[in-house]
């Protein structure tokens, strides 16, 4: 058994094909943007802009996390040796590669990042963050579980891999009944700090999702 | 147990005939899934459902992302 831990978002972030009712997705329309590290200087940013022929450079920290950007205007008048961390503008709203192109319509080309804030590039479509599938700090999307983006990350989804392992370890070769499975999941989620009421609601919603 | 794999390895496994399983809810699966992926929600991963898979082929399981 193999666990593709980066999951569907990672797959779509690289514009790889998917099947299903929705799309096209932003991940297939991402173009590179010039970047500098937070520790680099204004002179470095000017060079990066010149080489890329772009009007802004995205400032990233370790592991490609986007923290802000600087454009030519922000660089104007700044001493060459000024560290970018001192002049950057906090990163604007970003969007996930897993949202549909249609969901981000309206002037602009937002930065595209993974759920954990890693910069992928800029949307090549004329798009701007709307109410769907974006955030300001590179964390997961919250509160969009009905009319929101194509892929909303409810809290439980991020734990599925761990749950799979836990179920396997707990039940071994025995096949649990639905009631046993529910009781196990209930206890586990409550032990992790969720309220019993919240867990019951969650499990009810999962039970309503019958296999298709 | 599970062996963690990267996107490139997944592509390789698919090329080699692996079965791909999405464990998210049905709505998520219906909207988009990896090519050829079957839907097997995590909360239904009982032995009976697992028996629907071909034991002679590798199985790649995926979720939404790594959070």
Which pLDDT band, with edges at 50, 70 and 90, does A184 fall under? confident
State whether residue A155 sits within 8 Å of chain B by CB: no
The distance of B40 to chain A (nearest Cα, Å) reads 8
A-chain CB neighbours of B32 within 8 Å are: 8, 12, 18-23, 25, 98, 150-151
> Taking CB atoms and an 8 Å limit, are A8 and B65 in contact across chains?
yes
Mean pLDDT of A197-205: 72
> Taking CB atoms and an 8 Å limit, are B44 and A211 in contact across chains?
yes
The distance of B28 to chain A (nearest Cα, Å) reads 7
Measured from the Cβ of residue B36, the count of other Cβ atoms closer than 10 Å reads 10
Residue among A23, A167, A212 minimizing CB distance to B45:
A167
> Taking CB atoms and an 8 Å limit, are A151 and B67 in contact across chains?
no
Residue with tokens 């990163």: A91
ipTM at complex level: 0.94
Which pLDDT band, with edges at 50, 70 and 90, does A164 fall under? low
Q: Name the more confident of A5 and A110.
A: A5
B-chain CB neighbours of A180 within 8 Å are: none
Mean pLDDT of A4-12: 90
Q: Does A55 score more than 90 pLDDT?
A: no
| CB–CB contacts below 8 A, A to B | 163
Which pLDDT band, with edges at 50, 70 and 90, does A153 fall under? very low
Integer Cα distance of A77 and A72 in angstroms: 10
SS3 per-residue string spanning A36-92: EECCCEHHHHHHHHHHHCCCEEEEEEHHHEEEEEEEHHHHCCCCCCCEHHHCCEECC
Chain A residue with Cα closest to B3: A2
Measured from the Cβ of residue A168, the count of other Cβ atoms closer than 10 Å reads 15
The DSSP 8-state label assigned to residue A107 in this structure reads S
A55-80: burial string, b at 16+ Cβ within 10 Å, e else = ebbbbbeeebbbbbbbeeebbeebee
Q: Are A57 and A49 in contact (CB under 8 A)?
A: yes
pLDDT cut 90: percent of chain A above it: 24
pLDDT value, residue A147: 31
pLDDT value, residue A192: 61
pLDDT value, residue A193: 59
Q: Does A121 score more than 60 pLDDT?
A: yes
Q: Does A156 score more than 50 pLDDT?
A: no
Give contacts of A 116-135 with B, CB under 8 A. Answer: 116
Cα angle, residue B24 at apex, residues A182 and B28 outer, rounded to 5°: 130
Q: pTM for this structure?
A: 0.56
Residue among B7, B23, B29 minimizing CB distance to A14:
B7
Select the highest-mean-pLDDT range: A161-170, B7-16, B41-50: B7-16
Mean pLDDT of A67-89: 92
Mean pLDDT of B7-16: 95
pLDDT value, residue A63: 82
> Taking CB atoms and an 8 Å limit, are B43 and A4 in contact across chains?
no
> Taking CB atoms and an 8 Å limit, are B30 and A212 in contact across chains?
yes
Integer Cα distance of A25 and A212 in angstroms: 24
Q: Does B63 score more than 50 pLDDT?
A: yes
Taking phi over 0 as left and psi of -120 to 50 as alpha, with beta for the rest, B7 belongs to: alpha
Q: Does A64 score more than 80 pLDDT?
A: yes
Lowest-confidence segment of A12-16, A124-128, A146-150, B6-10 by average pLDDT: A146-150
pLDDT value, residue A53: 87
Integer Cα distance of A153 and A90 in angstroms: 24
Helix runs in B1-67, H state only: 7-15, 26-31, 47-50
pLDDT value, residue A129: 43
> Taking CB atoms and an 8 Å limit, are B63 and A150 in contact across chains?
no
Chain B residue with Cα closest to A97: B65
Q: Does A139 score more than 60 pLDDT?
A: no
Q: Does A83 score more than 80 pLDDT?
A: yes
Q: Does A195 score more than 90 pLDDT?
A: no
The distance of A167 to chain B (nearest Cα, Å) reads 9
pLDDT value, residue A132: 40
SS3 per-residue string spanning A178-189: HHHHHHHHHHHH
Residue with tokens 């999951």: A7
pLDDT cut 70: percent of chain A above it: 71
Residue A122 CA to its chain's centroid (Å): 14
């Amino acid at each position: 058994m193999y666990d593709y831990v980066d999951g569907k978002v990672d797959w779509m972030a690289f514009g790889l094909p998917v099947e299903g009712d929705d799309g096209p997705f932003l991940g297939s329309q991402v173009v590179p943007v010039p970047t500098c590290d937070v520790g680099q200087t204004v002179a470095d940013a000017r060079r990066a802009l010149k080489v890329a022929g772009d009007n802004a450079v995205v400032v990233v920290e370790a592991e490609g996390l986007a923290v802000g950007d600087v454009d030519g205007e922000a660089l104007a008048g700044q001493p060459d040796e000024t560290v970018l961390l001192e002049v950057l503008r906090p990163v604007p709203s970003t969007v996930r590669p897993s949202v549909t192109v249609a969901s981000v319509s309206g002037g602009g080309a937002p930065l595209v990042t993974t759920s954990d804030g890693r910069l992928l590039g800029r949307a090549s479509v004329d798009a701007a963050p709307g109410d769907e599938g974006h955030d300001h700090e590179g964390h997961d999307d919250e509160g969009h579980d009905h009319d929101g983006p194509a892929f909303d990350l409810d809290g439980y989804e991020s734990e599925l891999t761990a749950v799979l392992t836990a179920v396997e370890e707990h039940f071994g070769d025995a096949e649990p009944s639905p009631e046993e499975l529910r009781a196990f999941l209930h206890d586990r989620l409550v032990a992790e700090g969720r309220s019993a009421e919240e867990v019951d609601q969650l499990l009810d919603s999962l039970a309503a999702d019958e296999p298709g | 147990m599970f062996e963690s794999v990267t996107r490139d390895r997944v592509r390789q496994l698919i090329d080699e005939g692996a079965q791909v399983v999405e464990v998210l809810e049905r709505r998520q699966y219906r909207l988009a899934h990896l090519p050829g992926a079957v839907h097997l929600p995590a909360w239904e991963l009982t032995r009976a459902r697992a028996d629907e898979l071909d034991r002679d082929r590798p199985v790649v399981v995926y979720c939404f992302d790594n959070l």
